[in-house]
Chain A
Amino acid sequence: MRLHLTRFAAIVFAAIVGAHALAAVTPGEALDARLKALESELRCLVCQNQTLAESNAPLAEDLRKEVREQALAGKSDDEIRAYLVARYGDFVLYKPPVEPVTYLLWFGPFVLLVAGALIWWTLLRRRAQMPRETLPMTDDDVARARQLLEE
C-alpha cells in the first residue's frame, strides 16, 4: 500500500512537472504574451524606430515567425536574444548590454547628476561662508535709510 502511494505520488509529480514543461512551450495566450513582451524590446532593422512587435516589414514578419518557432522549440528569451544579436548586433536590442563601450550611455547621466549635485553643494557652502555684511555702511547710509523708513 505504501509502495503504491509512493508510486502514485511519483506519477502525479511527473505529470505536474511534465505538464509544466509542456505549458511553457505550447501555443496559447501565455506564449503570445511572452513573445509580445520579448518582441517589444527588439528593434526592427528595416524601420528602425519600431519594435519587432509593431512592425509590418516583411523582415519583421520573418523574424517574428523565427522567434515563435524557437520559443516553441523550448528556447529561452535569452537564447532567442543571443540568436538575433549574433546576426544583427546589439542594435536589435532596445536595452543595450552593460559593457565598457556602453558605460558612458548607462552611467553618464548619473555622473552628470552627481557632478551637478556637487556643484550645487559647493555653491551653497560658499554662499553660507560669505560674510552677511558685505557692503560697508557709512553713517550717511544709516541716516538715509532711517529717513526712507520714516517716509
Chain B
Amino acid sequence: MTTTSTLSAPRAKKRSVLRWSLPLAVFAIIVAFLFVGLFRDPREVPSPLIGKSAPAFSLPKLHEPQQMLGNADMRGQVWLLNVWASWCVSCRVEHPLLVDLAKANVVPVIGLNYKDKRDEGLAWLTERGDPYKASIVDADGRVGIDFGVYGVPETFVIDKAGVIRYKQIGPITAEALNDRILPLVRELQKS
C-alpha cells in the first residue's frame, strides 16, 4: 500500500535551493534600497534647471538701485549666483567662505538678495564683508521662483553660455567648494 509520489532528485534539489535563495535575494534587494536611502538627504531635491539656460532676469542692484543687472551682463564668463538674505541664518555659516573666495579672485559671485529689506541687507554686508561683485534685489522672490529656490542659501554655477551647471542647496561647505564647485569652475573657464 505505498503510493507516495516522490520528485526526481535533481528537481527536488533545485526547488530547495530556490526555497531559500529567492527570499534571500528579495531581502537583499530591499536592504540595498533602504541602505542607499539612509544616506540621502530628502531635503536636497535635484533641480530640473541643471543643464538648462539660467532663467532670464533683470534686477536692480542693491547698492545702486537705479542700475540694473541681468543675464546678458554676465555672458562670456563663468560666474556664481549666490542666493542670500540678512534674515537667513545659514547664510552666516557660508559667508566667510565666500569672502575668502572673493579675495582669491577666482570667479565672480553675484548675490541675489532674496526677499530682504534693503537697509538690512546693506547693513549685513557692511558688518560681515561684501564678497559679491554685485548684489541684486529680488524683493518679491519672483526671480527666486524662476530659479527654483526653496531654501536659502543656494548657489548656482553658471557657465559662459549662461547655462546652469551645478546647484548647491543649503550653505556652501569647504568640502563642496574645494571638491565640486571650484574644480567645475576651473574646467568651465578653460572651455
Contact = CB atoms under 8 A, between A and B. Distances in A.
Interface in A83-111: 85-91
B43 A88 contact: no
A53 B39 CA distance: 30
Nearest to B45: A91
A131 B3 contact: yes
Contact of B150 (A59, A90, A134, A138): A59
A58 B115 contact: yes
Contacts of B140: 62
A88 B48 contact: yes
A51 to B, nearest CB: 15
A137 interface: yes
Interface in B33-88: 42-43, 45-49
Nearest to B43: A48
A143 B115 CA distance: 94
A89 B3 contact: no
The number of chain A residues touching the other chain, given as a range, is 20 to 34
A45 interface: yes
A87 B3 contact: no
A66 interface: yes
Nearest to B2: A136
Contact of B145 (A46, A63, A133, A137): A63
Contact of A87 (B5, B43, B115, B146): B146
A130 interface: yes
Contact of A130 (B5, B141, B147): B5
B150 A46 contact: yes
Please indicate which of the listed interface residues B4, B46, B115 has the most CB atoms of chain A within 10 Å of its own CB. Answer: B4
B5 A131 contact: yes
B46 A87 contact: no
A136 B186 CA distance: 83
What 10 A-B pairs have minimum CB-CB distances, sorted nearest first?
A45-B150, A87-B148, A89-B48, A136-B2, A136-B1, A91-B45, A88-B148, A62-B141, A59-B150, A131-B5
Interface of A: 45-46, 48, 58-59, 62-63, 66, 85-91, 130-131, 133-134, 136-138
30 contacts: A45-B150, A46-B151, A48-B42, A48-B43, A58-B141, A59-B141, A59-B149, A62-B141, A62-B145, A63-B145, A66-B142, A66-B145, A86-B49, A87-B48, A87-B49, A87-B146, A87-B147, A87-B148, A88-B47, A89-B45, A89-B48, A89-B148, A91-B45, A130-B5, A131-B3, A131-B5, A133-B3, A134-B4, A136-B2, A136-B3
